[in-house]
Amino acid sequence: MATGRPERDSDLGLIARVSGGDRQAFEELYRLYQVRLGRFLANLVRHPQLAEEVLDDTLMVVWERAAGFKGESKLSTWIFAIAYRKAMKALRRYDAPLEDHEADNRASPEDGPEQAFGQTRLRGLLQEAMSELSLDHRTVIELTYFNDLSYREIAEIMDCPVDTVKTRMFYARRQMKRRLDGELPDWI
């Protein structure tokens, strides 16, 4: 089912090796997806420990069910769909207070003082605005802007029609724009 695109071909080869029990291939897959999935899950569930747990659960499913990947979608779509379903299930059973996100707002030590302040302020504004979105709206924003997935792929992940994804994006953008009005350049 390869489309001839190098990324797709390498994904198919990698998941085929994982389905054959190749631990090195799984480690490579883990490294490829750990950061993206971690960020997605952290923004989705907003509980660092829960995000780590869901990340591990997701990649365990990938390891155990790699042979079930049929190539009908991109590998990333399949993996993000597993992560999304695992996160929804985890949120239904999780009963703890939200974590303090101050640690996420600290600037990189390489930044100069003005740049560090600007980056910290920007991250804080975006996190605050996104935290006010519903779970569905936050998910659509996260998958679109931070994971570069198409509406079709997001619809597949969230198990809903593409038009529903478009509607959620419309309302999410409108809420973000209203919330950030005057705070940031017009990026939405």
Dist CA 140 CA 143 (whole Å): 5
Same domain membership, residue 118 and residue 85: no
pLDDT at 186: 44
Number of domains in the chain: 2
Does 102 map to a domain?
no
Same domain membership, residue 87 and residue 167: no
pLDDT at 107: 42
Does 106 map to a domain?
no
The reported pTM is 0.66
Same domain membership, residue 151 and residue 75: no
Does 129 map to a domain?
yes
Dist CA 69 CA 51 (whole Å): 24
Same domain membership, residue 77 and residue 155: no
Which CATH number does the domain housing residue 157 bear?
1.10.10.10
Last residue of a domain, one of 41, 62, 94: 94
Does 109 map to a domain?
no
pLDDT at 105: 44
pLDDT at 130: 84
Same domain membership, residue 77 and residue 119: no
Same domain membership, residue 118 and residue 90: no
CA end-to-end span of the chain, whole Å?
A: 35
Spatial contact of 169 and 140, defined as CB atoms under 8 Å apart: yes
pLDDT at 8: 58
Domain of residue 56: give its range. 1-94
Does 173 map to a domain?
yes
The one-digit pLDDT tens for each residue of the chain (188 residues) are 444 445 555 888 999 999 999 999 999 999 999 999 999 999 899 888 899 999 999 999 999 999 999 888 999 999 999 999 999 999 888 765 444 444 444 444 455 555 555 556 666 777 788 888 999 999 998 898 888 889 999 999 999 999 999 999 998 888 888 888 765 554 44
Can you read off the two tokens belonging to residue 79? 């993996």
Same domain membership, residue 16 and residue 57: yes
Same domain membership, residue 12 and residue 86: yes
Which CATH number does the domain housing residue 79 bear?
1.10.1740.10
Does 188 map to a domain?
no
pLDDT at 48: 87
Same domain membership, residue 125 and residue 78: no
Does 103 map to a domain?
no
Q: Count other C-beta atoms under 10 Å from residue 185's C-beta.
A: 6
Q: Which residue has the tokens 């569905």?
A: 136
pLDDT at 179: 82
Q: Count other C-beta atoms under 10 Å from residue 176's C-beta.
A: 21
pLDDT at 161: 94
Same domain membership, residue 89 and residue 24: yes
Same domain membership, residue 121 and residue 72: no
Spatial contact of 149 and 157, defined as CB atoms under 8 Å apart: yes
Does 101 map to a domain?
no
